[in-house]
Amino acid sequence: MALAACLLFDRQTERALRALWDRLEDLGVPTLRSHTHGRHVPHVSYAVVRDGDVDAVHRSVAALPDSGVVKLRFDGLGLFRRGRSWLVPAVASDLARRQELVVAAVTTTGADLHRHYEPGAWMPHCTIAPRVPLPMLPVLAAAVYEVLPLAARADRAALIDSGTGDTWPLPHIP
C-alpha cells in the first residue's frame, strides 16, 4: 500500500491536466491516465505512507483545521529519477506549513512516512507521466510548455491508495 494525503483540483484545473495527459498519450508518452489501474486523478500529495492504518490516518488528518482552497501556479517541468515527470509549482510558505501539519498528523498514527515527504525534503509536484523514456523527453517538454504557465486551484482533499485508486475524501482541506 502507498497511501497519500492529497490535494485535489477544481473542475477547471482537473480538465486542463487531464487534457495534457490526453495530449501526451496521443504523442506516445504514457501518463497517469494509462498507468496501473487507470483510476489516477491529478493531485499534489502532502504525504505518502508506505504502511499505516487507513482509518487512523483518515481520522488524524480529518481532525486538522480547514485551511481553505490552495492556489498554485505551475510554471515548470521537473523530473525525478527513473523518468517520473511532473509540473513544478511555486511554493508559498503557507503550502509548506500545511504539509508539515499533515505529516505531523499522519506520523502520530504510527504510519511509515516515505522519506521524500519528510518536511524539508518534500518537493511539491503534480505528476504527469510516471516513466518517460529518455528519447520522449523533448516530446514531453514541448507538450507541457504549450500549456504552462497554469494557474491551479485545489478545492478538496482526500486520502488515496495509489496501488488501487481507492479514495477516502476528507471533510475539508488541511
Closest to 173 in 3D by CA, of 3, 5, 56: 5
Inform me whether the pLDDT recorded for 1 exceeds 80. no
Q: Average pLDDT, whole number, for the chain?
A: 95
Per-residue confidence band for 92, with pLDDT thresholds at 50, 70 and 90: confident
Inform me whether the pLDDT recorded for 31 exceeds 80. yes
- For the chain, what are the domain ranges? 3-164
Span 124-163, pLDDT tens digits: 999 999 999 999 999 999 999 999 999 999 999 999 998 8
Cell of 46: 502532502
| pTM score | 0.94
Assigned architecture for domain 3-164:
Alpha-Beta Complex (3.90)
Alpha carbon separation from 142 to 17, 58, 80, 137 (Å, rounded):
15, 39, 18, 9
